[in-house]
Amino acid sequence: MNLTVIGTGYVGLVSGACFAEMGNHVTCIDVDEAKIAGLKQGQLPIYEPGLEAIVQRNAEEQRLNFSTDLSSEMKRSKIFFIAVGTPPGEDGSADLQYVLAVAREIGCQLQNYAVIVDKSTVPVGTADKVRAAIQEELDRRQVNITFDVVSNPEFLKEGAAIDDFMKPDRIVVGTESQKAQDLMRQLYAPFNRNHERTIFMGIRDAEMTKYAANSMLATKISFINEIANLCELMNVDVENVRRGIGSDGRIGFSFIYPGCGYGGSCFPKDVQALIRMAEDHGYDPQVLQAVEQRNEEQKRWFSRQLEKRFGSDLNGLKFGVWGLAFKPGTDDMREAPAKTLLADLMDRGASVLAYDPIAMETAEKELPADWFSNGQLQLTTNQYEALQGVDALLLVTEWKPFRNPDLEAMRRTMKQTIIFDGRNQYDPGYIRDEGFEYYAVGRVAV
């Protein structure tokens, strides 16, 4: 099939590349000329394991193309995916200006029947707005062209997006049109060879499904963090509690790992957007509000622990930070707990050496320039360099190289052998027997 994907961010580029991998001819469109020029040269604007090879292979075989010109694709494609950003507004609601701008452009250019697919995460009712925007442009052109709007939310985990797309748990498609359903079934047939994964439902149902899914996962994280904080106060080991409740099949082990809070482009934004949707309908979403509040407070776990151990004034102290991305497998620092931690350390006068296996370039771009220029923050070339003369290690992101580090090298390098573990990576008994003062989320402090 001939497909057009509008937007070459995380969702658009992964979707376009994976559809091309299945034999479709895909053109990815973006208004950013520099980004398109880079993609044509094989330069990806995001980091995702395995994506570069798929993009390169399908571009070489001419199944995947990049362009700034949507009009050239209007006669070729039957399906157009809208995969542009929906950044949160000041009130937490999703900003639809880019989605609707694309819809209007499609309306200006549409030549034949097509299916317009909302791939971006959008609030309930967005498909109606997209349909109205397209129809308004068609009416202005005084042409009668039929089209259908479909909701097909993505469920991709950063760091595992290729596997998630190629081997999905489910494919949610919201449509009221049999013609659109047939086309979407044909498109996704290669992903259903093992068993049927496609779930067809109403458009509004599909739009809500994405928000409900992410909010449910965020709820599990905030819940276990709440329990972990109670465990710290009650001299209880949360790891034993986690295993005890996770063995219940109704609960399971997924997303009940205590830590220093969630971040990224999805969970924070989607929880906030669902809260705003609820409030717009006169409903008080108490659980969702508690999930967000707990997460914001959990991001300050390091700050609370450091104040207990060192006091509020951190002038003259140096800390090593392992991990800047919001999770392993990505360079994404949006809403990352490391940002909250670094801001607090800077405000309290500390100096910091920081290392991340992937997100160093992102950190240089996104963190305030004065943190670097005044010498408070330095990025290092490896994880042990980030421990040179530090008073404590702050483990923020659970990258694999951090899981079983060289303790002897750490002892030689650190000024004080103190570890604050925001991801519960180490066995407290073992790490303390090795001579380290160790603090972790929900673990008994020594």
d(CA 206, CA 118): 10
Element (H, E) at 319: strand 318-322
Residue type, 63: R
Do the beta carbons of residue 8 and residue 45 sit within 8 Å? yes
DSSP string, 105-148: HHHHH--S-EEEEE-S---TTHHHHHHHHHHHHHHHHT----EE
| Max intra-chain CA distance, the chain | 78
3-state SS, residue 161: helix
d(CA 64, CA 2): 10
d(CA 308, CA 84): 44
Residues 6+ apart with CB under 8 A from 35: 8, 45
- Helix 203-234 / helix 126-141 crossing angle, nearest 10 deg: 150
Do the beta carbons of residue 278 and residue 288 sit within 8 Å? yes
Q: Which two tokens stand for residue 382?
A: 């490896």
CB atoms within 10 A of CB 199: 13
Q: Which two tokens stand for residue 441?
A: 């989320």
- Residue 59, CA atoms < 13 Å, CB-side half-sphere: 19
d(CA 316, CA 404): 29
Residue type, 102: V
DSSP 5: E
Active site annotation includes 18: no
DSSP 382: S
Do the beta carbons of residue 67 and residue 77 sit within 8 Å? no
**300-326 burial, b for 16+ CB within 10 Å, e for fewer?**
bbbbebbeeebeeebeebbbbbbbbbb
Catalytic, out of 28, 231, 260, 266: 266
Residues 6+ apart with CB under 8 A from 123: 93, 94, 96, 207, 211, 273, 277
Active site residues: 266
